[in-house]
Amino acid sequence: MKCLITGAAGFIGFHVAQRLLSLGHEVVGIDNLNDYYDVNLKLARLAILEKQPQFHFIKMDLADREGISRLFAESHFQRVIHLAAQAGVRYSIENPHVYAEANLIGHLNILEGCRHSQVEHLLYASSSSVYGLNRKLPFSTDDSVDHPVSLYAATKKANELMSHTYSHLFNLPTTGLRFFTVYGPWGRPDMALLKFTKAIIAGQSIDVYNHGDMRRDFTYIDDIVESIVRLQAVIPEADPSWTVETGSPATSSAPYKVYNIGNSQPVRLMEYIEAIEKALDKTATKNLLPMQPGDVMETSADTSALYSVINFRPETSVVDGVQRFVDWYKHFYH
């Protein structure tokens, strides 16, 4: 198959591209290589992908309407795995406009490209942050998600709504992927695992929000990749019997689906830190701080719908996953 992966130089995009290439698919990757975090890490990921003859990289911004339109017109992609976005909850409080460009205009350009080139299946990144003020745990795709608490989350929810309209109007099969805190080798420098590891090695204190009283459904990267690779083959079909009154919000009379991809085993933040301390054989100095605006206390994924369609659900433990991250970190950063 010929696949487009947006955000191919990013954490998740890089891993998905590697896996699709190893399965013999042709992958076109796009990314604007922005400096939200260390560009050298993005370039190092790309250097690995570019060793594969079946990989082709194009530096392009999602908001480049003509460029994206041309790319779709010239290449007949069977699958589009749209992972490029401005990520980060806290950053969206200070820099809201970047989110509108990358996550709203960018998503629209991808939808338009898929619509005009008859892409067979669009899969796109959503986020557990769409659950916002929801308190019922675990979070289920059957629940309504109308109360996001950050602009980042609102753009991800908007992506689901925009996708639904394209599934409905143009019969474009779309699958939304609500990722729950993804971690692992080649992970993002703006996320807790890399920040904590770096600080603990340097003997500096780590900032622990809400005094450590938070739980996260940390999901290991290989489990995310496995889920995406299986889901790309499950093309959503319209369900004519579906109604708003009786059906789940995660499905539709249009070829539209949304899944949670999480570990279903929320871990206390302090337990996550203990796993890092164990992997590094070093104790962290903790700087206990109040809750940050836009953050949620707990995330936990109900993955029953995911399991029923792909016969797989993430289950790597944080002890194993964090150890693999630390091994990569020590090797990569010497």
Ligand X SMILES: NC(=O)c1ccc[n+]([C@@H]2O[C@H](COP(=O)([O-])OP(=O)(O)OC[C@H]3O[C@@H](n4cnc5c(N)ncnc54)[C@H](O)[C@@H]3O)[C@@H](O)[C@H]2O)c1
Interface mask (CB under 6 A) for ligand X, residues 201-240, using x and -?
----------------------------------------
d(CA 74, CA 285) in angstroms, rounded, equals 54
Instruction: Give the other-Cβ count within 10 Å of 228's Cβ.
Output: 24
Per CB under 6 A, which region of 18-26, 139-147, 164-172, 178-186 contacts ligand X? 178-186
Interface with ligand X includes 306 (CB under 6 A)? no
Q: Helices marked H in 23-63 — which ranges?
A: 39-49
d(CA 321, CA 316) in angstroms, rounded, equals 6
Is residue 152 annotated as a catalytic residue, yes or no?
yes
Per CB under 6 A, which region of 77-85, 249-257, 263-271, 315-323 contacts ligand X? 77-85
Nearest to 302 by CA among 260, 268, 257: 260
Least distance (Å) from ligand X to the CB of residue 301? Answer: 11
> 100-136 in b/e burial notation, b at 16+ Cβ within 10 A?
eebbbebbbbbbbbbbebebebbbbbbbbbbbbebee
Give 283: exposed, middle or buried? Use CB within 10 Å, 0-12, 13-18, 19+. Answer: exposed
Catalytic entry in 37, 91, 131, 152: 152
The residue number whose beta carbon is nearest to ligand X equals 10
Which of residues 81, 85, 119, 275 is near ligand X by CB under 6 A?
85
Interface with ligand X includes 5 (CB under 6 A)? no
Which of residues 80, 87, 193, 276 is near ligand X by CB under 6 A?
87
Nearest to 132 by CA among 119, 122, 143, 142: 143
- Residues with Cβ < 8 Å from 80, sequence gap 6 or more? 3, 4, 6, 110, 113, 114, 119, 121, 122, 123
Interface with ligand X includes 159 (CB under 6 A)? no
Least distance (Å) from ligand X to the CB of residue 63? Answer: 5
Instruction: Give the other-Cβ count within 10 Å of 222's Cβ.
Output: 16
Interface with ligand X includes 62 (CB under 6 A)? yes
Interface with ligand X includes 61 (CB under 6 A)? yes
Interface with ligand X includes 262 (CB under 6 A)? no
Beta strand segments in 168-322, E = 174-179, 182-183, 205-208, 215-216, 219-220, 256-261, 267-268, 285-288
Per CB under 6 A, which region of 30-38, 70-78, 241-249, 309-317 contacts ligand X? 30-38
Instruction: Read off φ and ψ for residue 319, nearest 5 degrees.
Output: -60, -45
Interface with ligand X includes 46 (CB under 6 A)? no
Interface with ligand X includes 63 (CB under 6 A)? yes
Per CB under 6 A, which region of 84-92, 162-170, 281-289, 293-301 contacts ligand X? 84-92
In the complex with ligand X, the residue whose CB is nearer, 167 or 181, is 181
Interface with ligand X includes 260 (CB under 6 A)? no
Residue-level length of the chain? 334
Interface with ligand X includes 266 (CB under 6 A)? no
Residues that bind ligand X (CB under 6 A): 7, 9-13, 31-34, 42, 61-63, 83-87, 102, 106, 125, 127, 179, 181-182, 188
What residues are annotated to the active site? 152
